[in-house]
């Protein structure tokens, strides 16, 4: 069975291998910032792979230095062509819910940063393999902002409620070893071994009975889409309020200037 490789626009590369594992690669190096266009392309790719009999598991990975640095909050909108009043976030979260609803198991291969919405994207996967040089941050509070991308639901499910609160309240950065201790990633490997290790996990899934795996995954994630939808509605409402505050402006400015923010609570 030959491999099939396809570039989806300028943002995504999809390849289905002879081992029934598909690779879906973000192609916006070095930081792989996302917008609605990229998340919609990712949702479309996952939906297509759900219908592809060659595909039984997916490796989600990225080109460049970082897995995903989230949305570029210095831009006025997540869409390049217009602003619908919610800076494109409603459409983005609708597409993210489609990713959550996909039926094929996903293993994320995380190198460099998985930050903000990039952490949210990594947490949508079933398993995460990290490079020893990877780092993670739910850095929203450090920006004077509310977290998004369904982290309200996914992060506590992975690391537990108190640990999720710690990461969300402080916005602190953690390295790969701490992420492994917390359960945020399932394995840590040398950078040069990352893709192979992630593919090994995905290949083990693909070698199991595909009908059984899909049913098991559907059971394990039975109410996840509904909870994700509810959570992102709440997250977006808070984001829209906080986006208008002086604290948010200061947080974004401080991040751009690489200094500590000075928040006023206004």
What is the CATH classification number for the domain harbouring 59?
Answer: 3.90.226.10
CA atoms within 13 A on the CB side of 5: 3
The domain of 68 spans 4-191+208-213
Inside any domain, residue 240: no
* Strand arrangement, sheet containing 4-8: 4-8, 12-16, 21-26, 57-62, 106-110, 127-131, 187-189
Question: How far, CA to CA in Å, does 48 sit from each of 58, 101, 110, 154?
Answer: 12, 13, 23, 24
Inside any domain, residue 146: yes
Distance separating alpha carbons of residues 145 and 243, to the nearest angstrom = 7
Distance separating alpha carbons of residues 93 and 90, to the nearest angstrom = 5
Tokens of 47: 């939906």
Contact 106, 61 (CB under 8 A): no
Quick one: pLDDT at residue 85? Answer: 54
Inside any domain, residue 165: yes
Inside any domain, residue 224: no
pLDDT digit string (tens) for 117-176?
999 999 999 999 999 999 999 999 999 999 999 999 999 999 999 999 999 999 999 999
Quick one: pLDDT at residue 87? Answer: 64
Question: How far, CA to CA in Å, does 159 sit from each of 154, 180, 183, 191, 218?
Answer: 9, 10, 6, 23, 21
- Tokens 């992102």 map to which residue? 232
The number of beta carbons lying within 10 Å of the beta carbon of residue 143 is 23
Contact 33, 70 (CB under 8 A): yes
DSSP 3-state of 89 = helix
Which portions of the chain are predicted below pLDDT 70? 1-9, 73-87
Quick one: pLDDT at residue 178? Answer: 98
Inside any domain, residue 93: yes
Inside any domain, residue 128: yes
> Domain total for the chain?
1
Helix 89-101 to helix 36-50 angle (10° resolution) is: 20
Distance separating alpha carbons of residues 68 and 33, to the nearest angstrom = 6
Inside any domain, residue 238: no
pTM (2 decimals)? 0.92
Q: What share of the chain is helix, strand, coil (3-state, %, to 5)?
A: 45, 20, 35
Quick one: pLDDT at residue 113? Answer: 98
Inside any domain, residue 249: no
Quick one: pLDDT at residue 2? Answer: 38
């Amino acid at each position: 069975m030959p491999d099939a490789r396809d570039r989806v626009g300028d943002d995504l590369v999809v390849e289905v291998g002879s081992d029934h594992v598909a690779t879906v690669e973000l192609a916006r190096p070095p930081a792989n910032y996302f917008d609605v266009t990229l998340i919609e392309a990712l949702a479309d790719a996952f939906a297509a792979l759900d219908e592809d009999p060659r595909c039984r598991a997916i490796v989600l990975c990225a080109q460049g230095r970082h897995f995903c640095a989230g949305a570029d909050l210095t831009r006025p909108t997540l869409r390049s062509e217009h602003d619908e009043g919610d800076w494109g976030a409603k459409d983005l979260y609708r597409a993210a819910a489609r990713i959550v609803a996909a039926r094929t198991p996903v293993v994320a291969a995380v190198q460099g940063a998985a930050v903000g919405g990039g952490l949210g994207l990594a947490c949508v996967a079933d398993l995460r393999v990290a490079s020893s040089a990877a780092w993670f941050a739910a850095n929203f509070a450090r920006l004077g902002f509310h977290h998004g991308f369904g982290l309200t639901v996914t992060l506590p499910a992975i690391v537990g409620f108190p640990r999720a609160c710690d990461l969300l309240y402080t916005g602190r950065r953690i390295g790969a070893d701490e992420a492994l201790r917390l359960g945020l990633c399932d394995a840590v490997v040398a950078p040069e071994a990352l893709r192979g290790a992630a593919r090994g996990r995905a290949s083990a899934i693909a070698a199991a009975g595909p009908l059984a795996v899909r049913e098991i995954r559907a059971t394990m994630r039975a109410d996840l889409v509904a909870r994700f939808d509810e959570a992102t509605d709440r997250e977006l409402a808070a984001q829209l309020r906080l986006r208008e505050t002086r604290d948010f402006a200061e947080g974004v400015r401080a991040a751009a200037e690489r200094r500590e923010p000075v928040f006023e609570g206004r």
